Structures are given as C-alpha cells and as structure tokens.
C-alpha cells in the first residue's frame, strides 16, 4: 500500500500588527481565503493552519487521513518552529491556538509542519492579499 502525500500551503497576514488580517490556504488545486478582522500576523498564521487542518479532515475523512502523509508548508519560521516544539510560545494569544492545533493533530497520524521560503508560498500569500484588498475596497465604499 503506497502512502499518499498531500502538500498544504498556508499563510496568514495582517496589514499593520495588529491590523486587518486574512488567511490563505492551498490544498491540492483548491484555494481558500478568509478575512479575520483585526489581529496580529502570528495569530493569522496560526488560524491559517487551523483552517487547513479542519478543511483537510473534512475533505478526506478519517479513513483516508490514516493513509495520507500531510505536509503543512508555511513561511512563518516562528510558527513552524513552535508547532514542531523547537520554540516556546511566549505570546499569550497564541497559546490557545497552539492547543487547538495540538488537539487537531490526533486526527492526523502522519502530519508534518515544514518551514519554507516565502518564494515557495506565493499562491497562499496571493490569496491573503486578494482577501485583504477586497476588504479594503469594501471599507472605502
């Protein structure tokens, strides 16, 4: 039985820190974006990972998840290292988000968080900016 590999790309961003924030997620050929309101860049990065894990769990179902290696690619070195247990979580607002991901991990027997250069995360980054641009246009109307 060959194990399938699913690469997910996530990004979160805010204009200002804190400021208007959004997430971008790429799962296979599907793209998702969501406006978060006013928050920090790091919170947005975490929320992108949470969104991606919940979406993949829904798309694949528990049986297929067991046979799939999931790689979450993110360009936030801080968040990748916190999720991999290399960095402590010092910001109080990130701790409940970390715990939510920790609990989600139980549904993912083969889950990896991988830090990638920003250049390799262009699609997710583009989604974040498109969502923020759309929100900015709304507020100008």
Tell me the domains of the chain and their CATH numbers: 4-140 (3.30.420.10)
Give, to the nearest 10 degrees, the angle between helix 41-66 and helix 95-104: 10
Give the DSSP per-residue string, 18-32: SEEEEEEEEETTEEE
pLDDT at res. 2 = 65
Within 13 Å and on the Cβ side, how many CA atoms surround 66?
Answer: 3
- Distance from C-alpha of 10 to C-alpha of 111, rounded to nearest angstrom: 14
Q: Is the pTM of this model over 0.85?
A: yes
pLDDT at res. 90 = 94
Q: Mind listing the pLDDT tens digit of every residue in the chain (141 residues)? A: 567 999 999 999 999 999 999 999 999 999 999 999 999 999 999 999 999 999 999 999 989 999 999 999 999 999 999 999 999 999 999 999 999 999 999 999 999 999 999 999 999 999 999 999 999 888 777
Residue 32 CB partners (closer than 8 Å, separation 6+): 23, 24, 25, 26, 51, 55, 127
């Amino acid at each position: 039985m060959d194990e399938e590999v699913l690469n997910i790309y996530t990004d979160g961003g805010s204009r200002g820190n804190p400021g208007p924030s959004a997430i971008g997620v790429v799962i296979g050929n599907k793209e998702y974006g969501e406006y978060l309101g006013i928050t920090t860049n790091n919170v947005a990065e975490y929320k992108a990972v949470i969104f991606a894990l919940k979406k993949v769990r829904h798309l694949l179902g528990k049986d297929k998840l067991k046979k799939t290696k999931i790689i979450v690619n993110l360009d936030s070195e801080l968040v990748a290292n916190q999720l991999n247990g290399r960095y402590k979580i010092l910001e109080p607002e990130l701790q409940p988000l970390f715990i939510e991901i920790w609990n989600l991990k139980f549904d993912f027997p083969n889950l990896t968080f991988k830090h990638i250069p920003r250049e390799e995360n262009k699609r997710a980054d583009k989604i974040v900016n498109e969502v923020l641009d759309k929100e900015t246009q709304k507020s100008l109307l």
